[in-house]
Amino acid sequence: MARFNYQLLEQAPRVPGKPRHKTREVRIGSVVIGGNNPIAVQSMTTTDTHDVEATVRQIRALEEAGCELVRVTVPKPEDAHALTQIRQRIGIPLICDIHFDYKMALAALDHPIDKIRINPGNIGGPERFRQVVRKAKDRGIPMRIGVNAGSLERDLCEKYGFPCPPAMVESALRYIELAEAEGYHDIVVSLKSSDVLVAVEAYRLYAQLADYPTHIGITEAGKPPYAVTKSAAGLAPLLLDGIGDTIRVSLLGDPVPEIQAAFDILQATQRRVRRPELIACPTCGRLAIDLEKIVAELEKRLQGKRLPVKISVLGCVVNGPGEAREADIGIAAGNGKGMIFRNGEIIRRVDEADIVDALMEEVARWEEENRHRLPRTTDVEGLGRRRLPVINP
């Protein structure tokens, strides 16, 4: 009798990946989240919102980096008064962040904003929340119910002992029910914590109980580079589980780097593939070509290409050939020569000086051959080998 259950291996899926958690669609200005829509990347300004020039300048920098939704804080009346001017001068949906004062939420809703974010744990109780819901419903503005472990309602902390995932999810469900009782369903939910394990389990528990779309993030992640690593550690399990409809990587300081970090996490988890994936081996003692120079040149020449193609560049004759076969296009090189692979087959050999040109020729050929099978935009979930299998040459 075999020691291991080989039948389990035979029954396991050959191509990994869980489907997206099916959620309702919610429109936030020009962006629709939930359902089968792309996972949207958002950020938050660090300026005083009433400083219109500084706020607009930062939002435009975020837009240029690829940000799709932007949030501003509205703690004071002068911040609310600036919202119309800001919205008129930016090209992406504007979200207002409210803490403590429900009157600021009501004031913000008098302006052409695209969404409002409420923290139910510090808004002042159910009746004040209802007032905001009624006005949001009247204005046709969606709302994010933003539960935060650091400001959970006292009764839930007493019930569960501390701000644990069940307590956070109960808070979200409590306010969802209050909103639904008012006939309001334009809801997005977040369950944020600075503790990765708490956040991940809270979102997983919520996904078993409700179908409103989620905004996912690890709050107060801190300063890069650790904050990016911490965010990836928390966001990747959720994305791989199919959870998340919008995403933010919270970094201390300038928010612009948050955008690249978020798209990198989406790319790595294959939830939103927007560019070629370049795979390169580490520079170990077996390296026999100038791999760093080749990769740098490839990155430069691939800039701006929005193709879900996987390119492997390996400077090793030991593992290189086998690993290069796993990519759509690959090269295994050493001692001044390289073997070009397409879909697992060697197609030609080139000199080291010609590797970049040869790979770019193969990228162009791959794009032409797959043009009819590619969506009109690559900004959707699941592109790459899960949706675009290997084509035999």
Element (H, E) at 117: strand 115-118
Q: What top-level class would CATH report for the domain 26-268?
A: alpha beta
Task: Confirm if 236 and 268 have CB atoms less than 8 A apart.
Answer: yes
Tell me 340's DSSP state.
E
Q: Span 327-354, mean pLDDT?
A: 83
- Whether the CA torsion 189, 194, 199, 202 is positive or negative: it is negative
Query: Which is more confidently placed, 175 or 332?
Result: 175
Q: What is the pLDDT of residue 203?
A: 97
Q: 348-356: which pairs have CB atoms within 8 A and are 24 or more residues apart?
A: 352/289, 352/290, 352/294, 355/289, 355/294, 355/313, 355/331, 356/294, 356/297, 356/298, 356/301
What the block records as the tokens of 185 is 């369903």
As beta bridge partners, residue 345 has: 342
Tell me 372's DSSP state.
G
Task: Confirm if 73 and 48 have CB atoms less than 8 A apart.
Answer: no
Distance in angstroms (rounded) separating the CA atoms of residues 285 and 95: 51
Superfamily covering domain 277-373: Sulfite Reductase Hemoprotein, domain 1 (3.30.413.10)
pLDDT band of 325, cuts 50, 70, 90 = low
Q: Percentage of residues in the chain with pLDDT exceeding 90?
A: 59
Average pLDDT, the chain: 88
Q: What is the pLDDT of residue 390?
A: 36
Lowest-confidence segment of 24-28, 200-204, 219-223 by average pLDDT: 219-223
Query: Which is more confidently placed, 383 or 237?
Result: 237
Q: What are the pLDDT digits (tens) for 269-316?
A: 989 888 888 887 766 656 667 788 888 898 899 888 888 888 888 776
Residue by residue, DSSP assigns 177-189 as HHHHHTT---EEE
Cα→Cα distances 374→35, 252, 271, 307, 378, Å: 21, 38, 16, 9, 8
| Amino acid in the structure at residue 110 | D
HEC letters along 124-151: CCHHHHHHHHHHHHHHCCCEEEEEEHHH
Distance in angstroms (rounded) separating the CA atoms of residues 36 and 34: 6
Q: What is the pLDDT of residue 100?
A: 84
Secondary structure class of 243 (helix, strand, coil):
coil
Nearest to 179 by CA among 187, 168, 170, 167: 187
pLDDT band of 324, cuts 50, 70, 90 = low
CA 182 to chain centre: 31
Q: What are the pLDDT digits (tens) for 99-148?
A: 888 999 999 999 999 999 999 878 878 999 999 999 999 999 999 999 99
Q: What are the pLDDT digits (tens) for 56-98?
A: 999 999 999 999 999 999 999 999 999 999 999 999 999 999 9
For tokens 């980096």, name the residue.
Answer: 65
CB atoms near residue 143 (< 10 Å): 26
Residue-range domain boundaries for the chain: 26-268, 277-373
Distance in angstroms (rounded) separating the CA atoms of residues 25 and 34: 4
Nearest to 43 by CA among 241, 306, 231, 242: 231
- b/e sequence 240-260, b meaning 16+ C-beta within 10 Å: bbbbbbbbbbbbeeebbbbbe
